[in-house]
A = this chain, B = another copy of it.
Amino acid sequence: MALPPAVELRRRNRAALLEQLHRHGPQTRAALTEALELNRSTIGALATDLAESGHLQETTGQSTGSAGRPSTLVACVPQSITVAAVEIRADRLRFALVGLGGEVLERSETALEDGDDPVSAVAVITGGKAGDAVDAVAAMPGLVDEGTVAHSTELGWVDRDVAADLEAATGREWQVVDTATAAAVGEWSRGDAHEARKLLYLHGGRGLTAGLVIEGRSQRGGSIQLGHIVVEPGGRECACGLRGCLEAEMEAFVFAEDIENATLAAGMGDAAARDRLRRSGEDLGRALGAVVTATGPDEILFGGWLRELYLSTAAPVRSALAETTLPHLRSKLRLRTPVLGDEGALMGAAETGFAAVFDRMR
């Protein structure tokens, strides 16, 4: 059923105003009027309305005008809408309760031992707080499709319906995204990758995964098992059963622990370490060539331990990529490292939740 038009219009405007403040922080009514292309009285009515419902507050902030008068800023009330975010790794679990406006209201972290089930640990770490949140999102490394982890090198899972398991453990619904996609959303919304139309985030953990987001939104099929692009047909045996996978060729499982040592050794003139880094960079560049040809991103971020690898092997990565990508696809492509570092996936999980919240409001 369609709602009466005035109600529907006001609902859309409310969502737009909250999203604007959530994304860009406290602003004057004048700035909101301009950003949302609404008139001043509409903004005034919406702000009053949202202040009454407890979502907004108006505060006297620092002067931003030339006259030097203090100006009144409209700001989110963080507690009015909260999203629970967790990031699962094989050896660690992190939880954040994020409020409207992006403020982290609570946060905790716990180590996982071999044999711990991360899903049960989620129930413990969130300690019932996830139940009060408007949305809850879990990020984990692997190939994720609609709540199911189809394959995860790091967690050792195949076809696990994690959304159902999380719901059973915590008594509430969860969205599930892969770590790389979550980090891409995080860098787009809270980092400095906002200009990227198609952003490919590469994550180096105990496996190599990638996530593709378009204009900051996760995509069906945007969760990519980067580590299982075959770069050397008939090459080294991989744990997945194939041969010559990027992960196997780069010895990713041990590399995650010794990337710093290799970089240090190479810097001190160790030719074997230098050679190993160069070859890994070339393998990565070649795998990226295929992914870029198939998906056409305009920005690639090297995250997790791939950040260190890229910083020490940018030249071989770039030259191998150049040898395997059409000039057109390469010309508009930026290669960079993420600015949120280790925080990206957790923040991106929260932002994935807020995107869903704003969508439902409309």
Give the B-binding residues of A (Cβ under 8 A): 1-6, 8-9, 143, 145, 150-151, 158-159, 198, 214, 220-221, 223-225, 228-230, 233-234, 240-243, 286, 289-291, 293-297, 323-329
Contacts and interface: CB of A to CB of B under 8 A. Distances in A.
Contacts of A325: 228, 242
A360 to B, nearest CB: 18
Contact of A290 (B223, B234, B294): B294
A151 B228 contact: no
A233 to B, nearest CB: 6
14 contacts: A2-B5, A2-B6, A5-B8, A143-B296, A150-B329, A151-B328, A198-B220, A221-B297, A224-B293, A224-B296, A230-B286, A230-B323, A242-B325, A294-B295
Given A214-B221, A220-B198, A294-B290, A326 B151 contact: yes
Contacts of A150: 328-329
A225 B291 CA distance: 11
A337 B323 CA distance: 32
A327 B158 CA distance: 10
Contacts of A230: 286, 289-290, 323-324
A34 to B, nearest CB: 20
Contact of A242 (B6, B224, B225, B326): B326
Contacts of A229: 290, 293-294
A323 B242 contact: yes
Nearest to A232: B233
Contacts of A143: 296, 326, 328-329
A328 B294 contact: no
A233 B5 contact: no
A2 B4 CA distance: 9
B327 A240 contact: yes
Nearest to A320: B233
A295 B158 contact: no
A151 B296 CA distance: 12
A88 to B, nearest CB: 19
User: Which A-B residue pairs are the 9 nearest by beta carbons?
Assistant: A290-B290, A2-B5, A294-B294, A230-B324, A221-B296, A150-B328, A291-B294, A151-B328, A2-B9
B224 A294 contact: yes
Contacts of A286: 230, 233
Contacts of A329: 143, 150, 225
Contact of A3 (B5, B220, B228): B5
Given A2-B5, A225-B293, A296-B145, A327 B241 contact: yes
Contacts of A214: 220-221
A231 B6 CA distance: 58
